[in-house]
Amino acid sequence: MARLLAAGRDPSTIVAERAGFRVHEASGLRWLYGGGDAIQSVMSLTTPERPLLPATVQLLAALLWRPAPATALNLGVGGGAIERFVARYLPGLRLCSVEHSHDAIALATRHFALPSTGELVRARAEDFVATDARRYDLVWCDLFDGARQAACLGDGTFLAALCRRLASQGVLAMNLSPHDEAELLHTLMHLRMALPWVALSARSDGGNVVVMAARQALPADTELLARAARLAQGSMPEIAAVAGALVRLPAPADP
């Protein structure tokens, strides 16, 4: 995303500013900037349903583990990339999206074609997962404070509540930007108490790490790649590379 960060230095690309967020537009793209080196969302003006940020594609790779979900929870709306993808390609999926920032919701609605079809809850993710009684086939978690992952992503109480939001065959996908390996291991330790099967999707440029976790094992490589090929043809050509690079953690001793 270095190209977009560089383009964003040109004031003429700014189309909106609100509460520390900036919306930029250039070369057929619109993006949400949240400070520092953080580009929170990118949207093509011609194909808004297509996920463009690598982290978004990595999060959507949870569909390889849990295809044809009936329900999903998305913590952190950002620029609405997951909501647009779901509205276009998974119209039968009952999606609940949670976002604490009123300003982020307003910008996503006005400038990023946030669909009105799903359920949208304005709340802190910590409060929502602690009080919501529903179970979901997929849970996406993309919570950031500027360029850093939200503090709750290292909190054991939050992570335990997050795991409880999953249905028995559900899959959790979290976008993380750990300060160091110790911070990542801390999060993984808490997750594996409830979700013993874990796979990592890490970018070659050293960017964010997406962690996927579930109570059941990831499908075999042949099945995983077959599912990725189907998704690549239909909606997400980048998913094949993500599937081929997934790193499975060792099987739990007592799954």
13/104 same-domain check: no
Predicted confidence at residue 178, as pLDDT, reads: 87
Residue 26 belongs to domain spanning: 2-44
Tens of pLDDT along 78-124? Answer: 999 999 999 999 999 999 999 999 999 999 999 999 999 999 999 99
In this structure, the answer to whether residues 159 and 208 fall within a common structural domain is yes
Report the predicted TM-score, pTM, of the whole model to 2 decimal places: 0.94
Strands (DSSP E) contained in the chain are: 14-18, 21-26, 29-35, 38-44, 71-75, 94-99, 119-122, 136-141, 144-145, 148-149, 166-176, 197-202, 209-214, 247-248
Domain boundary pick from 10, 26, 44: 44
pLDDT confidence of residue 254: 57
| Number of structural domains the chain divides into | 2
Look at 7 and 88; give whichever has higher pLDDT: 88
Domain match, 38 and 61 both? no
More reliable by pLDDT, 5 or 142 = 142
Q: How confident is the model at residue 6 (pLDDT cuts 50, 70, 90)?
A: confident
CATH number, residue 153: 3.40.50.150
**Could you tell me if 52 and 28 are in contact, meaning their C-beta atoms sit under 8 angstroms apart?**
no
What is the per-residue DSSP string for 52-114?
-SHHHHHHHTHHHHS-S-SEEEEE--TT-HHHHHHHHH-TT-EEEEEE--HHHHHHHHHHS--
Q: Please check whether residues 77 and 189 belong to one and the same domain.
A: yes
pLDDT in tens, 22-66: 999 999 999 999 876 778 899 999 999 999 999 999 999 999 999
Q: Are residues 33 and 78 in the same domain?
A: no
Percent of all residues in the chain with a pLDDT value above 90, rounded to a whole number: 80
The confidence score (pLDDT) of residue 34 equals 83
Residues 27 and 150 in one domain: no
Residue 155 maps to a domain: yes
